[in-house]
Chains A and B, each alone.
Chain A
Amino acid sequence: MENIEIKTQKIYACQISDVPENGGACVLIDGEQIAIFNFTSKGEWYATQNLCPHKQQMALSRGLIGSTGTEPKVACPFHKKAFSLKNGACLSGEDFTLKTYPVEVEKDKVFLYI
């Protein structure tokens, strides 16, 4: 296996107020749909691909977020498959993984590393 160096870039995504508390919203960056989650109860922000790998639906930003134990997760609105917000692993026992992106919040703005 080769190691590929991945360079990330910090990109402005949206205003904090665009993402509801304890919920998600979708941004369009360079043709890519990214779901951003404002995990207010933990004081954390997460970002994943917006596409649910189960039926290829652009829907994860509209999912309910919450936790299993201490693992933060989002449940897809379509069939409630749940995914870890930390590493994108599917928590409903299937072989899917979501892309995740680092998020940074400065004042009232949300940035992504892509």
Chain B
Amino acid sequence: MKKNLIVIGNGMVGYKFCEKLIAKSGNDLYNITVFGEEIRPAYDRVHLSAYMGEKTIEELTMAPLDWYETHNISLKLADPITNVDLDRKMVSSHSGLSLPYDFLVFATGSAPFVPMIPGVEKEGVFVYRTIEDLDMMKAYAPKATRAAVIGGGLLGLEAAKALLDLGISDSNVIEFAPRLMPRQIDQAGSDLLKGKLRDLGIKVHCNKNTQEIVGDGKIEGMTFADGERLEVDMLVISAGIKPRDEVAKIAGLEVGSRGGILVNDLLQTSDPSVYAIGECALHNTMIYGLVAPGYDMAEIVANQLVGADAKSFTGFDMSTKLKLIGVDVASFGNPFLEEPDCQTIIYENKTKGVYKRINIGNDSKLLLGGILVGDASQYSMLLQTVNNKLPIPEDPEDLILGARGGEGDAGAGVMALPDEALICSCEAITKGKIISEITENNATTIDEIKKSTKACTGCGGCTPMVKDLIQGVLKSQGKVIRNVLCEHFDYSRQELLSLAKLNNLKTYDEVLHKHGVGDGCEVCKPAVASILASLWNENVLGTGRLTAQDSNDRYLANIQRGGTYSVVPRIPGGEITPEKLIVIGNVAQKYGLYTKITGGQRIDMFGAHVSDLPKIWEELIAAGFESGHAYGKALRTVKSCVGTTWCRFGVQDAVSFAIEVENRYKGLRSPHKLKSAVSGCIRECAEAQSKDFGIIATEKGWNLYVGGNGGSKPRHADLIATDLSSEECIRLIDRFLMFYIKTAEPLQRTATWIDKMEGGIAYLKSVIIDDVIGINEELELEMQSLVDNYKCEWKEAVETPEIRKRFVHFVNAPETKDPTVKFEEMRSQIKAEDWNIAKF
């Protein structure tokens, strides 16, 4: 006879418990019933914020409903348990079900803790825990312009970022403690983080005690104990968690004085046939607000129930990494140890926004903990070093600064770990397990490892280590890991470019037949297409090239939500006549397009149906416009400031030079996009130092900078030559760009290319300035031939019937537009329909 097992709560841990039990054939021993209070099956709460953006409910769902069915788990959703009779071993649910159990598992999680601040009940005040909370925030946000979050912990900061993602540009974080993430980082780390958040648009107020939430029915502002007031029309409370122990309490199970269902090392509550796991469990005075310890608890209880050897729960490491986009924050081991209990090494670089602290044992043998802000790339490795008590370098600062001077080998770190080292703590996957997947089951890609072990599927923090591990194992097996494009080409981009050039290959098929195998794929096709464009500068939509182009290149426009396209005509240097402005206005009006000034000093028109593109371009071309290549890995914009033409400080004519530079390199395709700018003086209003190549005027000429980057990992460009004449400057840029085009990896911006280059900027200078490898003449000639070959590809496209006819949505009904395209109205213009509003 099977016994009855009931699980209360279908959250992350409740689900994981079922998964583990099934994997151990637990459903042969038990009739499993799960009660969930929420209306949907368990979903990935850790990545809840992704629901504000890219991810749908389906993607966040841990397992679809039929998974429960297949494994004979009876799942009762939207039916919370309201009472448990410990003597009769019965549970009763809200809908009136009464069921007997032999074993009962509480996995009821926790609820947001809402402090008793007068006014918390007002409209516009939210918590951040469930899909419903987010749906309500999404619905309210369009009415709000200024918002705040109470609580500067891990979750509070995530909520603040979510507010930004909802389009609220004025977002504030209110923290009672003197610093942010008080449980993870120290004051110096917090100060730096504050600055980083400010750059993201989040204002931080520490030492602030909220007194009242004011407003007439709905929130209008907040007042604080120090007498200050903040005007906000939306508030998220993220002041901590409160374990859901209410049913346990009614049942008479022992609970902690500050909440939580009391458990022993076997996760048994005060009644040995009742367990508690996850965020509702109070173990040794600790509530674990993280998913990994919850999964560990699930494993331990599942083992006991199937009679496997019962390991006990002995606590868990609270190391964490913040998932906020654009800000790295991590703490591991014991971050707060101080001298004399340890030696502390601190590295701080305020200009780069990096703070790192490590605590080393007094015998200099062990790493005990630390904090990383601004750059947490070493997090996984440092955490492993703490957890596995790995030996540390003789100069412990190498741990955070990298070995300087010596030879760095990224893979060596992971390879030095013992086999028991936990690589993926969410899924408890050890290094040994991953290695056996690689060596025995030939899993050599992240996707394969994900499928077979579930590593990397939780928080994703271990992905870089798993990558290193794969590389390391393959290397140790003597397999040469070459940087090849994909399974269809056994060549690097650089090799393939030389081959295509040598053999005069002009179409994707020629390259595939001569140098590749199979049918190609979405990785090699765009890479080869880009190589061909960089070599010959022939129309990308020509025969044999059309279907190798990446999504945007294939339609010479950027694909948008909903499947329409955006149109960006080139506006060199950002200079435009009133006549041309009028043309853009007329075209946008005629085709019903949304218009916006871009960050690249030009105008973008969004929402064009694919079949309107040729007509739109015909009109733009007639007015003298050309393609702006906003869709291509190509030269984008050369921004300018007004320079001597108007500015009282300008020392050179920045606009004219920007236009000259933009017109020279327009249409140039490269491994990744290229951006440039020209500033008229050292005040740098054109932001040239953030560009792939930037030019700043001096009294005597131009200073040239290369390798700048905005984006998520900004890098300032390096100065490589000063006081150049316009001709000298162009010649250097020719060489720089051509050398980049010939040697970079696919989708590698100039910044990364230089950073990865052996010898770095010094080597680059020796090649393109000192000509140490004697290729400069060739580089210049190659560039000149590309420049000479320039034609506006949109002009060719509208004039060539064979190309033009491909711009339709339905080939059997060319006049019909895609009827599923829907727009909404916003500020008197159109916008794409939100794709997260599920269409059922």
Contacts and interface: CB of A to CB of B under 8 A. Distances in A.
Contacts of A79: 54
A66 B547 CA distance: 10
A67 B551 contact: no
Interface stretch (B423-431, B469-477, B811-819): B811-819
A33 B772 CA distance: 58
Given A64-B525, A64-B550, A14 B563 contact: no
Interface in A29-54: 29, 33, 39, 41-42, 54
Given A14-B812, A23-B546, A66 B519 contact: yes
A58 B820 contact: yes
Interface in A53-90: 54-59, 62-69, 72-73, 75, 77-80, 82
B487 A23 contact: no
A65 B58 contact: no
B521 A73 contact: yes
B547 A65 contact: yes
Interface residues of B, number: 44
B519 A75 contact: no
B59 interface: yes
Given A56-B835, A58-B820, A66 B559 contact: no
Contact of A28 (B59, B487, B810): B810
A101 B806 CA distance: 23
Interface string B790-826: 0000000000000000100111110010101100000
Given A65-B547, A66-B520, A66-B522, A56 B839 contact: yes
Contacts of B555: 62
A93 B450 contact: yes
Contacts of B821: 58
Nearest to A91: B447
B519 A72 contact: yes
A114 to B, nearest CB: 13
Given A22-B547, A27-B812, A28-B813, A75 B521 contact: yes
B546 A20 contact: yes
Contacts of B518: 66-67
Interface centre among B809, B816, B835 (most CB of A within 10 A): B809
A14 B64 contact: no
A17 B56 CA distance: 37
B519 A67 contact: yes
Interface of A: 13-14, 18-23, 25-29, 33, 39, 41-42, 54-59, 62-69, 72-73, 75, 77-80, 82, 92-95
Interface of B: 54, 56, 58-59, 64, 447, 450-451, 487-488, 508-509, 512, 518-522, 524-526, 546-548, 550-551, 554-555, 559, 561-563, 806, 809-813, 816, 818, 820-821, 835, 839
Top 5 nearest A-B pairs (CB, nearest first) are A23-B547, A77-B551, A66-B521, A75-B522, A18-B811
Given A67-B519, A67-B520, A95-B64, 17 more contacts: A20-B806, A22-B519, A28-B812, A28-B813, A41-B512, A41-B519, A57-B561, A57-B562, A57-B563, A58-B809, A63-B551, A64-B525, A64-B526, A77-B551, A80-B522, A93-B451, A95-B58
